[in-house]
Amino acid sequence: MPKQVDHQERRETIARALWRVVERRGAKHLTMREVAQEAGISLGQLQHYFDSRAAMLSFAMDFAGEQSAQRVARALGGLGEPPHPRDVLRVMLVELLPLHADARATSRMSAAYVLEALHDEEIRARARGGLLQGRAMVERVVRQAIADRYIAPDRDPAVEADLLLALTGFTTLLELRVVEPDAALAAVDRYLDRLFETAGGSGPR
- Digit-coded pLDDT (tens) for 108-160: 888 888 888 888 888 889 889 989 999 999 999 999 999 999 999 999 999 99
Q: What confidence category does residue 1 fall into, taking pLDDT thresholds of 50, 70 and 90?
A: very low
Task: Judge whether 4 lies within some domain.
Answer: no
Task: Judge whether 33 lies within some domain.
Answer: no
Task: Judge whether 180 lies within some domain.
Answer: yes
Task: Judge whether 202 lies within some domain.
Answer: no
For Cα atoms 91, 94, 96, give the angle at the middle one, nearest 5 degrees. Answer: 110
pLDDT: which is higher, 193 or 11: 193
Largest separation between any pair of C-alpha atoms in the chain: 68
CB 174 within 8 A of CB 99: yes
User: Total domain count for the chain?
Assistant: 1
Is the pLDDT at 2 greater than 60? The verdict is no
Between the two ends of the chain, the Cα-to-Cα distance in Å is 65
| CA–CA dist 158, 139 (Å, integer) | 6
| Torsion (CA) 42, 25, 108, 54 in degrees, nearest 10 | -40
Residue 156 belongs to what domain range? Answer: 53-197
Q: What confidence category does residue 198 fall into, taking pLDDT thresholds of 50, 70 and 90?
A: low
Task: Judge whether 10 lies within some domain.
Answer: no
**Which CATH number characterizes residue 161's domain?**
1.10.357.10
